[in-house]
Structure 1
Amino acid sequence: MKKNIGSASLNPARTRHGLTVIAVLIVLILIVFMISVNTGHIRLTPLELLRTLFGQGTDKQELILFDFRLPRIVIAVLIGAGLAVSGAVMQGVFRNALADPGILGINAGAGLMVMLLVSFYPTTSAAPVYVLPLVAFVGAGCTAALIYALAYKRHQGISPIRLLLTGVAVAAGMSAAMIVLTLRLDPDKYQFVATWLAGSIWGTSWKFVLSLLPWIVILLPYIIYKARVMNVLHLGEHTATGLGAAVTREQFRLLAAAVGLAAASVAVSGGIGFVGLVGPHLARRLVGPQHQLMLPASALLGSLLVITADMIGRWILQPSEIPTGIVVAVIGAPYFLYLLARTKS
């Protein structure tokens, strides 16, 4: 690949503005993080929280903080970043403003494979927890390939609207298959599936954090590293080829990374949708279309959205809770309809 690909420097003023936005988002995440840690049936005062964080709390306080709340909050941050960046890549590669791993059926494909695994193994066993992201990746990858094959037309490429409709149809088929599979599940596993489908963050222990962390740590920096390439791909295939980009190879690598992020996130979070739609759009409005700034901003906005939704879901009906996916859908569904109304066919 030629050195001049995507090498145009960012406007200094826009860069300063983007870095300021990113810094503000980090501060907001930290604020919501502290509030979320203290959200629950049993509250910890700020002093108790600090003492517990530094190992000076009681056994009960350490159990509440380190075994129940912190793993769930960390997972919410990780899956928010993963889903948002996955959506940003799909929107950039397909040049489709409505692309999102949930809307396109990627999440449903991952969920179907997760359900098949759960049907044969208990969700509490150690091995399936670490295998879940890999199994979900296989399902998500096969679904992505199927959607691409059905939406692609020779001499025409992929139409954004055809891609969207194909994804919605495939997602509906996958969801129907999951519902049929629930008929053979015992009550305990059925409860798990119902929780997963509602988008409740069910993986709330450190072993789930460890199963998700490698995917985020490896794939997220890789995608941000490819930001300049994504800038060129966003110009269109013919222009990108003229600039020296290996379009097909780069598209495949980026989509594989995006599918991996979405699959790993869905494997431990359940069916949380619209994060990959809302995060990138808000990031684009705040920092502009250059992916060097837009991708980190998308990751932070996705984390902020999921951690806030999880906090609201745990707080609003205490001691019961609303699944995080429902809270996110209340925000994301109207925004999706708004974008759909603005999109030209």
Structure 2
Amino acid sequence: MIHPKVIKKQRFILGALTALILTTSILAMGMGYASLSYDRLIPVLLGQGTFKEEFVLFSIRLPRIVITLLAGMALSVSGAILQGITRNDLADPGIVGINSGAGVAVAVFYLFFPIDAGSFVYMLPVIAFIGSLITACIIYLFSYDKTTGLQPIRLMLIGFGTSIALSGAMIMLVTSSDPRKVDFIAKWLAGNIWGADWPFILAVLPWLVILIPLTLVKAQPLNLLQISDPVAVGAGVSLNKERIALLLTAVALAAAAVSVTGGISFIGLMAPHMAKALVGARHQLFIPVALLMGGWLLLLADTIGRNLADPEGIAAGTMTALIGAPYFIYLLLKKS
């Protein structure tokens, strides 16, 4: 039973995060290489703007804001799942190799396969998921022991090593490819929000609509898995079945996000931690908070980054790394 005061606190925080997202979104609408004055936002939203104003807002700014929010939400929930099933506070889809697997798959697809303009947008999340799934299967197999089952610590270490190996493979792909196509891969590696268009939103949104509610349904098994295997078994949880289902969910969410944003790390690490600090470690409480926290963090990082240097700015992945790397070190020192 969750105390009513905790639920009230969670609702207040969710309201505050929603307000932060709306405020940051409004700031992001007016900031950029092509300026759009804030007193013109409401008329433009109501269809009373000039062609230039409507093009900037509806074709450039709004799609980028929406896709950034969706990607941040997906990465934060993916990180929350990974931290739960591995019982490791340092787990993140970028750190354990899932993002790298998606990146290599997307790079191979883009560099060596014929691309159809009509299906490219919708194929990217699928290709990224296949790459992430293969990577996750390799990590899972090497982390599994016949007598003791899945070893969470081994999973983290093997995932980290796999991430480094895949990063090396990506560099080899880039150096041996057509220079005209390398620019896209370079932007992907930097974590540039490149899929900022409405078709990309339509391609990614179904993954989140299906998988995020599924994660919330699995909140109680996640609570038990995070405590210990004996406790989970005693409560009737099928360890391997639940871990595989949750791992697939985490992989799919991360793949959908990075297929349109590139190599974004640390959002899946920071957002769940911040949410736990605010409302506690129960997944049914902190996952909704982490969801909004992740979306806001990535939107804030992208908004700041793209306005620091004209005209292209600094990639969102670089901005999150600047914040996330010290945070990762802090958590590492705290655990040691």
**Equivalent position to 2:119, from 120, 127, 134:** 127
- Once the two structures are overlaid, the 10-residue window that deviates more, 127-136 or 244-253, is 244-253
TM-score, length of structure 1 as denominator length: 0.94
| Alpha carbons 1:91, 1:99 under 8 Å: kept | yes
Partner of 1:167: 159
**Equivalent position to 2:75, from 62, 80, 83:** 83
Partner of 2:214: 222
Partner of 2:319: 327
| Alpha carbons 1:280, 1:294 under 8 Å: kept | yes
Deviation at 1:121, TM superposition (A): 4.5
Whole-Å separation in 2 of the counterparts to 1:10 and 1:242 = 21
Asked if 1:342 corresponds to 2:334, the answer is yes
| Alpha carbons 1:91, 1:100 under 8 Å: kept | yes
| Alpha carbons 2:68, 2:295 under 8 Å: kept | yes
Partner of 1:6: none
- Once the two structures are overlaid, the 10-residue window that deviates more, 158-167 or 306-315, is 158-167
Whole-Å separation in 2 of the counterparts to 1:121 and 1:207 = 21
| Alpha carbons 1:287, 1:293 under 8 Å: kept | yes
Deviation at 1:341, TM superposition (A): 1.3
Whole-Å separation in 1 of the counterparts to 2:22 and 2:114 = 35
After superposition, the Cα gap between the structure-2 partners of 1:122 and 1:48, relative to the gap in structure 1 and judged at 3 Å, is: farther
**5+ long unaligned stretches in structure 2:** none
Partner of 1:291: 283
After superposition, the Cα gap between the structure-2 partners of 1:263 and 1:175, relative to the gap in structure 1 and judged at 3 Å, is: same
List per-residue Cα deviations over 1:211-247 (Å, max 9, x = no partner).
1111111111111122122122222221111111222
Whole-Å separation in 2 of the counterparts to 1:245 and 1:159 = 17
Sequence identity of aligned pairs in percent?
Answer: 45
Deviation at 1:19, TM superposition (A): 1.2
Partner of 1:54: 46
Whole-Å separation in 1 of the counterparts to 2:239 and 2:144 = 16
Partner of 1:102: 94
| Alpha carbons 1:121, 1:128 under 8 Å: kept | no
Asked if 1:313 corresponds to 2:305, the answer is yes
Q: 3-state DSSP class of the match of 1:211?
A: helix
**Equivalent position to 2:7, from 15, 23, 28:** 15
Asked if 1:240 corresponds to 2:212, the answer is no
| Alpha carbons 2:86, 2:153 under 8 Å: kept | no
Whole-Å separation in 1 of the counterparts to 2:99 and 2:311 = 29
Deviation at 1:152, TM superposition (A): 2.7
Asked if 1:263 corresponds to 2:233, the answer is no
Letter in 1 for 2:215: I
- Once the two structures are overlaid, the 10-residue window that deviates more, 69-78 or 222-231, is 222-231
After superposition, the Cα gap between the structure-2 partners of 1:124 and 1:309, relative to the gap in structure 1 and judged at 3 Å, is: farther
After superposition, the Cα gap between the structure-2 partners of 1:141 and 1:302, relative to the gap in structure 1 and judged at 3 Å, is: same
**Equivalent position to 1:92, from 73, 84, 89:** 84
| Alpha carbons 1:81, 1:302 under 8 Å: kept | yes
Q: 3-state DSSP class of the match of 2:92?
A: coil
**Equivalent position to 1:300, from 285, 288, 292:** 292
Asked if 1:198 corresponds to 2:193, the answer is no
Q: 3-state DSSP class of the match of 2:227?
A: coil
List per-residue Cα deviations over 1:135-185 (Å, max 9, x = no partner).
111110111111122223343444444322211110111111111111332
After superposition, the Cα gap between the structure-2 partners of 1:287 and 1:66, relative to the gap in structure 1 and judged at 3 Å, is: same
Q: 3-state DSSP class of the match of 1:234?
A: helix
Partner of 1:35: 27
Whole-Å separation in 2 of the counterparts to 1:123 and 1:292 = 41
Asked if 1:64 corresponds to 2:56, the answer is yes
Whole-Å separation in 1 of the counterparts to 2:25 and 2:116 = 27
**5+ long unaligned stretches in structure 1:** 1-8
The number of residue pairs the alignment matches comes to 336
Whole-Å separation in 1 of the counterparts to 2:23 and 2:291 = 17
Deviation at 1:257, TM superposition (A): 0.9
- Once the two structures are overlaid, the 10-residue window that deviates more, 218-227 or 101-110, is 218-227
Deviation at 1:10, TM superposition (A): 0.9
Whole-Å separation in 1 of the counterparts to 2:311 and 2:237 = 54
Letter in 2 for 1:292: Q
| Alpha carbons 1:123, 1:129 under 8 Å: kept | no
Whole-Å separation in 2 of the counterparts to 1:206 and 1:110 = 22
CA RMSD between the two structures: 1.5
